[in-house]
Amino acid sequence: MASDKIAPPTRPLGPTDIHVTPIGLGTWQFSQNILSGAGNWGSLSPDDINAIVQAAVDGGVNWFDTAEIYGFGRSERNLARALRAAGVQPGEVVIATKWWPILRFAGSIPRTIGKRIKNLAPYPIDLHQVHWPYALSSIESIMDRMAELVQAGKVKAVGVSNYNAEQMRRAHACLAQHGIPLTSNQVKYNLLDRRIEANGVLETAQELGITIIAYSPLEMGLLTGKFHQKPELLNSRPRRRRGKLKARLEITRPLIDRMAELAEKYDATVTQIGLNWLIHAYGDRVIAIPGATKPHHAADAARAMNFVLSLDEIEELHAIARALTGYKPISN
Ligand SMILES: NC(=O)c1ccc[n+]([C@@H]2O[C@H](COP(=O)([O-])OP(=O)(O)OC[C@H]3O[C@@H](n4cnc5c(N)ncnc54)[C@H](OP(=O)(O)O)[C@@H]3O)[C@@H](O)[C@H]2O)c1
């Protein structure tokens, strides 16, 4: 991964010595028309995926988030192939994946880790996350199995996703008995969806030293401003997402207009303003994993690490967005 460029500053992932750039790359889009990937993103070719990962690496992004459920392992395999194609050596990037808990017992964690390791080879798994809090086993049983993976050297750290404040505390307490920290909670968070500021998740993360990994940080494309500028673009987007985005264009326009003014000031894009807000509004606590279906999406997102909005601007965007939506998403 040789480069002359200055690397963006990194942040520790929770209380670990794993260091990540504030912007990573989400790879649900690499599911290739399988499961929910199809209704939301369509299908990318291997060449498309290689080019997206190359653009992220070139932009200084040093970590990637995938999951077992994204295309039943396709996203993991596509990511590993693309990193190899980009000449990235094992250990040069941070890899996060997730175990799928729904309708499963904790015993499936040790049974499925081999597949995760094989799919992602030769890149080691830095962070293994529990995708949702819904499983057939208790949080405690799940955390015991996850701790065993760390003790066996199969993964470096443990995170959760979509956990509420109380569930975070239970996971944290159980891991602590094994001498292992809870590293992160991956949740939906962006300017238009502020639930974690009101439901105790952000506060608990701050108290326990847990990193918040913001997923859908661009509200599935709405916060890029491109659909406000050219609503006809929505016609080419997969059906499931099109309806959701169309219904929210007008109500969100005042926010996008202000973001566009700030973008001009910083020689940036609306996308970069939204991501910059996320990674600076709460110090180092929040990092983001925008998804991409084109190389220029990944390059654009990486450039959100090149400037810092002023505190007044962060507060102003906060106020405009909250006046539009309250803490809740406009609709789900
Ligand atoms: N843990 C969980 O339960 C969970 C749930 C959802 C997502 N995630 C993770 O979070 C990642 C990101 O979330 P997400 O994919 O839902 O939504 P997102 O990052 O908010 O939006 C991604 C979409 O926004 C558009 N976009 C991105 N960058 C752009 C740019 N610079 N310029 C113009 N358009 C741009 C693209 O839309 P088009 O493709 O239409 O152009 C892209 O596919 C996923 O890949 C996944 O890894 C996790």
The encoded tokens of residue 134 equal 């819904």
Whole-angstrom CA distances from 8 to 11, 60, 107, 200, 251 are 10, 6, 39, 30, 34
Give the lowest-confidence range in 41-50, 77-86, 290-299: 41-50
State the average pLDDT for the chain. Answer: 94
d(CA 116, CA 99): 9
Specify the pLDDT at position 136: 98
Top mutation candidate among 23, 27, 28 for ligand 1, by most atoms within 8 Å of CB: 28
Supply the pLDDT for residue 244: 83
Q: Where are the domains of the chain?
A: 19-223+279-309
Query: In whole angstroms, how far apart are CA 173 and each of 150, 165, 168?
Result: 16, 12, 9
Phi, psi of 266 (to 5 degrees): -95, 10
Query: How does residue 325 score in pLDDT terms, banded at 50, 70 and 90?
Result: confident
Among residues 148, 90, 149, 156, the alpha carbon closest in space to that of 127 is found at: 156
Question: What's the pLDDT at 4?
Answer: 52
Helices (H) and strands (E) in the chain, counts: 14, 10
pLDDT at 38 over 80: no
The C-alpha atoms of residue 271 and residue 219 are separated, in whole angstroms, by 10
Q: Which residue has the tokens 């084109």?
A: 294
Q: How far apart are alpha carbons 53 and 57 in whole angstroms? A: 6
Quickly tell me which residue has 């993991």 as its tokens.
76
Partnered with residue 211 across adjacent β-strands are 184
Distance CA 35, CA 54 (A): 25
Identify the residues whose C-beta falls under 6 Å from ligand 1. 26-29, 41, 65, 131, 161-162, 186, 215-221, 224, 226, 237, 271, 289-293, 297, 300-301
Q: Mean pLDDT throughout 20-47?
A: 84
Is CATH 3.20.20.100 the right assignment for the domain spanning 19-223+279-309? Answer: yes
The answer to whether residue 243 scores a pLDDT higher than 90 is no
For residue 56, the CA-to-ligand 1 centroid distance in Å is: 14
Nearest CA to ligand 1 atom 45: 26
- DSSP H helices, 121-269, are 139-151, 165-176, 195-198, 201-208, 226-229, 239-246, 249-265
Q: Alpha-carbon distance 44 to 299, whole Å?
A: 17
